[in-house]
Amino acid sequence: MSYSELIDLYKTNLKRYSIDQLRYVSEQGVWSLGQMFDHVILAALDYLVQVQRCASASEEQRQGKTEAGDQLFNAGSFPPIKIKLPDGPENTPSNSETVDDLMRGFDTVLKRMSEWEEKVHTINPNYKVRHDGFGWLNAREWYELVGMHFRHHLRQKVELEQKLEF
């Protein structure tokens, strides 16, 4: 599934929820659908900032990915496991965004992805930016990470939808 199809899927699903459903938290420590949507948008925008950083680099980086990074990119996807982010405000997505706010966020991601789509393959693959878990990634890898991350959260979306008590 292409990144544009993924984003369209998220947007189509987003239109189905009431604001109460979007913000519903089933239990402490579990995100609402709105928080999950906010997270995937913000992560995608961050990954695209890293694409820009690679494009702007002037020094080659010979170091590569970590073992986890190699596994991720060899598989082309995140493993089908839950990944717990460390507690803290930087890892707690907003639960106050509206459907319109999130739609604008998805539109921004779609626009930026399309802006980079053709250019990403022209960036020197040795211009890299370090990811804390996956090691040194080049522009193409950061770009691919957006789609992998969107696909990874489809499982969580289904889980959260099943917990809605409406």
29 sits in the region (left: phi over 0; alpha: psi -120 to 50; else beta) called left
pLDDT above 80 (res 146): yes
For the chain, the domain total comes to 1
pLDDT at 166 over 60: no
pLDDT band at 78 (very low <50, low <70, confident <90, very high): confident
Q: What is the CATH number of the domain that holds 123?
A: 1.20.120.450
Higher pLDDT, 2 or 112: 112
d(CA 107, CA 84): 27
Mean pLDDT of the chain: 92
Which residue range forms the structural domain that includes residue 147?
A: 3-163
pLDDT of 132 higher than 80? yes
Q: Which of 128, 122, 115 is nearest to 58 (CA)?
A: 128
